[in-house]
Amino acid sequence: MLACLALSLICVVYPIYVIRPFRAQGARELAAALVVMRFRSAATLVSCAAAMAALVLYWRAQPRRWRRAFATAGAAFVCVLAALARVNIYELMFHPDDRPSFAGASRTKLDKDEKVIAVKIGSAGRAYPIRNISYHHVINDVLDKVAIVATY
């Protein structure tokens, strides 16, 4: 049970610790954190299942109620961590614009001096106002049948 708890805690806490804003990221620790993030959904799920199995065995072997309660809380926490491992804080914080909409230049009310990121593919021109894209940071788009991602 303790091993499950330790594994799940590492899976959830380590990437948050390494990849947090206003902290310098070293190359090795960042690579390790990204590997943890990649595999943590499966790892914490296995950990949750193992914790529940351990809890069943513990209930059979341990008659004292407070110890059983303690073990139950531990197993529940491991499973909560499994749920948290499926959440990427950045993806929550920086709201993606999943359905970007567009209008013609003449129908768009922007000051003339507002900055835009401009792209042209074939004969199709598109502009991404910086005041908008600096909030979403990532816009998945298709322009003239070419799939592009505008970033800022």
Partner 1 sequence: MWGRDVAGLRLTFHLAGINNQNFLMRDEQTGSYWQQISGKAVSGPLRGSQLPFVHSDELTFGTWASEEPQGTVLQDDAKYRFGYQPKNWDVRMQRAPTVIDFREHGLKARDLMLGIQAFGASRAFLYDQVIREKLVKDHVGAEPVLLVVGRDGQSVRAFRNRIPGVQGAPDFYRKPDGVLVDAATGGEWNFQGCAISGKAKGECLEPVEAIKDYWFDWRNFNPATTVYGKR
In this structure, are strands 138-143 and 146-151 parallel, antiparallel, or unpaired? antiparallel
Binding site for partner 1 (CB under 8 A): 15, 19-25, 30-31, 34-35, 37-38, 88, 90-91, 94-97, 99-106, 108, 110-121, 124-140, 146-151
Query: Closest separation between CB of residue 141 and partner 1, Å?
Result: 8
Do residues 137 and 151 make contact, with C-beta atoms less than 8 angstroms apart?
yes
Query: Closest separation between CB of residue 40 and partner 1, Å?
Result: 11
Do residues 148 and 119 make contact, with C-beta atoms less than 8 angstroms apart?
yes
Q: How far apart are CA 143 and CA 94, in angstroms?
A: 23
Do residues 82 and 39 make contact, with C-beta atoms less than 8 angstroms apart?
no
Closer Cβ to partner 1, 85 or 133, answer by number: 133
Query: Closest separation between CB of residue 9 and partner 1, Å?
Result: 19
Closer Cβ to partner 1, 63 or 122, answer by number: 122
